[in-house]
Amino acid sequence: MKSKIYVFGILSGIALLSACGNNNQKETPLETSKSKTTADSAFVNGTPCDLKISGIHFTKSVNGADTLAKAGENGKVIFRAGKKKDYFADPNGELSNNTAPILLSKVDNTKPFTLISKVTPQFTPKGLYNAGVLYIYVNDNFYQKFCFEQDERGNHRVVTVRTIGTSDDNNHDVVKSPAIYMKISSDTRTVASYYSLDKKNWQMVRLYQNNYPKTIWMGISTQCPVDKGTQSIFEEISLDQHSVTDFRMGN
């Protein structure tokens, strides 16, 4: 009788150890999601390019961006986009489109960074969602775009769109000025987006945890989701590895 109990005890112990091993190896949904969004490398669906503007080295071109962005004097860039060009992963699938041109520069996300540009989009009566855009980009399923955009009522708005699988869509302030300064900054832990009319007083429009991978891409773009084509002008562009010191005020 004792031998049967002893054998049963051994078998029960083996089963318990096996179950514990399986439980340790199983990923929870949260862990699975985290591993997807914090991968250590960024995949860019584009082609190599070699374009230097105001000290920024753009080395990746998405959708022919290097042929559509023309650099002029004092770092001024005129960036064109053809008809129905957008980057958006519609939650319902109806408006999904990843054809907008984007110029990208590789950034070490283990260090602080700040991207700034004065942005002047070409707004037209039929230019619904026309926008000049700043990007944080990892891949087609993981990015943020920061837009000065024309809305459904013809207003010109500051807009942020964050895509993790699908895109959200956040409309912020209406701005009467034809141009604004736009800024994306991170101290490695936090990412925030700001706009300003004078490059001195900044308005925060979005802030969230920096869960991007160690290597990311920062860039500029023009979009024209509905109309026959448009352009945006980028001026005073800078990209350096310093962050704002006050994330609420943007300074």
In tens, the pLDDT along 82-107 reads 999 999 999 998 999 999 999 999 99
Examine residue 78 and state whether it is found in any structural domain, yes or no: yes
Instruction: Please report the DSSP string for 50-109 in residue order.
Output: EEEETTEEEEEEETTHHHHEEE-GGG-EEEEEETTB-EE--TTSTT-EE---EEEEEEET
Report the domain count for the chain. Answer: 2
Q: What radius of gyration do the chain's Cα atoms show?
A: 23
pTM of the entire predicted model: 0.84
**83 in the same domain as 28:** no
User: How much of the chain is in helix, strand and coil states, percent to nearest 5?
Assistant: 15, 50, 35
- Amino acid 19: pLDDT: 36
Q: Are residues 102 and 212 in the same domain?
A: yes
| Domain assignment present for 251 | no
Query: Is 132 among the domain residues?
Result: yes
DSSP 8-class letter at 126: T
pLDDT of residue 20: 35
Q: Are residues 116 and 190 in the same domain?
A: yes
Q: Is 160 inside a domain boundary?
A: yes
What angle (nearest 5°) sits at the alpha carbon of residue 19, between those of residues 13 and 23?
145
* Whether residue 196 is found in the same domain as residue 105: yes
Asked, for residue 89, whether it belongs to a domain, the answer is yes
Residue 180: domain span: 42-240
| Residue 196 placed within a domain | yes
User: In this structure, what CATH number is given to the domain that contains residue 57?
Assistant: 2.60.120.200
For residue 45, the model assigns a pLDDT of: 76
Residues 129 and 200 in one domain: yes
Tell me, yes or no, whether 173 and 56 share the same domain: yes
Same domain assignment for residues 16 and 110: no
Domain match, 27 and 78 both? no
Q: Report if residue 246 sits inside a domain.
A: no
